[in-house]
């Protein structure tokens, strides 16, 4: 068993940072990319399940980069039920520029464009845990399925990859339970959940509410 900082959610307080003890197998579902996700490659969008080590993926900063390793994990082989803190997060179709419903692992780092982040850091693009999006009405926890499969893509260095649904996700250079070397760019650092929630709340307030915020965010993604 390992101790993992994960995110739970309740209807009153939203996503909460907790420390939960999970098996190493379950921890694999804390982050990663769910099957059914298509990522951008030099050959166009490709399903993550079709990718292999050596294949090229378009990255946000470094152009096409070869996959060092890719691992897939089936939920049906888990040694215990997936804790609620590790349940996938579902995004409704069209809410954030996605053309279909999207599933995200709660700890998976995703890119968010934030006016508040630009004021704080001088850069509007920040990496946040996907659980941050549970503050929005378009996101909800999904009951896990034994047919779920999640993939971990590795590169020689940390990379941001782009999905066919306009998302940008962080891929780490090592196995799930290892720490990064000091070579990771500062812009690839994932904000703590409470700080990410605060930035999102500030953006929503400045936009005049959730509805105008979502309209603005969708327009930014489409631009």
Q: Which residues lie closer than 8 Å to 215 by C-beta, 6 or more apart?
A: none
Domain of residue 137, residue span: 2-220
In the prediction, which pLDDT does 57 show? 98
In the prediction, which pLDDT does 74 show? 92
Model pLDDT for residues 4-58, shown as the tens digit of each residue: 444 444 544 444 444 445 577 788 899 999 999 999 999 999 999 999 999 999 9
Residues of the chain with pLDDT under 70: 1-22, 174-187, 223
In the prediction, which pLDDT does 140 show? 95
In the prediction, which pLDDT does 219 show? 80
In the prediction, which pLDDT does 184 show? 47
In the prediction, which pLDDT does 22 show? 57
What's the CATH code of the domain at 146?
A: 2.170.16.10
Q: Which residues lie closer than 8 Å to 55 by C-beta, 6 or more apart?
A: 41, 46, 66, 67
Report the domain count for the chain.
Answer: 1
């Amino acid at each position: 068993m390992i101790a993992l900082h994960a995110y739970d959610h309740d209807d009153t307080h939203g996503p909460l940072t907790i420390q939960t003890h999970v098996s190493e197998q379950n921890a694999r579902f804390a982050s990663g990319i769910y099957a059914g996700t298509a990522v951008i490659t030099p050959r166009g969008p490709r399903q993550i399940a079709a990718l292999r080590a050596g294949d090229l993926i378009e990255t946000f900063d470094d152009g096409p980069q070869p996959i060092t390793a890719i691992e897939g994990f089936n939920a049906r082989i888990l040694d215990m039920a997936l804790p609620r803190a590790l349940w996938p997060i579902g995004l409704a179709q069209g809410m954030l520029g996605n053309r279909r419903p999207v599933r995200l692992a709660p700890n998976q780092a995703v890119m968010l464009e934030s006016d508040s982040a630009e004021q704080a850091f001088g850069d509007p693009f920040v990496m946040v845990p996907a659980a941050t999006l549970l503050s929005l009405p378009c996101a909800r926890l999904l009951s896990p399925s034994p047919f779920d499969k999640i993939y971990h893509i590795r590169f020689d260095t940390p990379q941001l990859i782009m999905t066919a649904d306009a998302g940008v996700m962080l891929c780490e250079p090592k196995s799930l339970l290892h720490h990064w070397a000091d070579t990771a760019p500062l812009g690839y650092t994932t904000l703590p959940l409470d700080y990410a929630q605060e930035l999102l709340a500030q953006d929503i307030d400045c936009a005049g509410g959730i509805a105008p915020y979502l309209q603005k965010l969708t327009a930014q993604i489409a631009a």
